Structures are given as structure tokens and as C-alpha cells.
Amino acid sequence: MIGKTGRVSGRIGPGRVGEVMISIRGGSEAFYAHPHSHGETIEIGSLVVVTDFQPPRTVYVDRLS
């Protein structure tokens, strides 16, 4: 899971649980998302990379440049 890319479908920010769609098994699945860098806000539609995975469906992400 770490290193996969996805697209933000629910705003990610401090104190908020966002949502990211990630390509899995020939389709896409939604995961709860938190920013890897505290205080960062990532808007809907941004491309992100997964930096950490906490089962069952939580990921920590960084924005792709």
C-alpha cells in the first residue's frame, strides 16, 4: 500500500478525516486519509502518495508535486 498514488475525494486537513480513492485490484477503493505533515491541507482533486497505512482503511498521504 505504501507508495501507491491516489486522488483526494474528500478534503484532508488538520483535525479532519479526508478521503482518498486508490486503485486496488483492478478497481478503486476509498480510504480514510490524514496528512503526513501536520497542519497541511490537501484539496479535493489533488494527487497524493501513500506514506503510511494503518489497517483496516486509514492512510497517511503527502501531496505529489
pTM confidence score: 0.92
In the chain, beta strands by DSSP E: 5-10, 18-24, 27-35, 47-54, 58-63
The full set of domains in the chain, from first to last, is 5-63 (2.40.50.140)
Predicted local distance difference test score (pLDDT) of residue 22: 98
Q: What is the pLDDT of residues 48-65, one digit of tens each?
A: 999 999 999 999 999 997
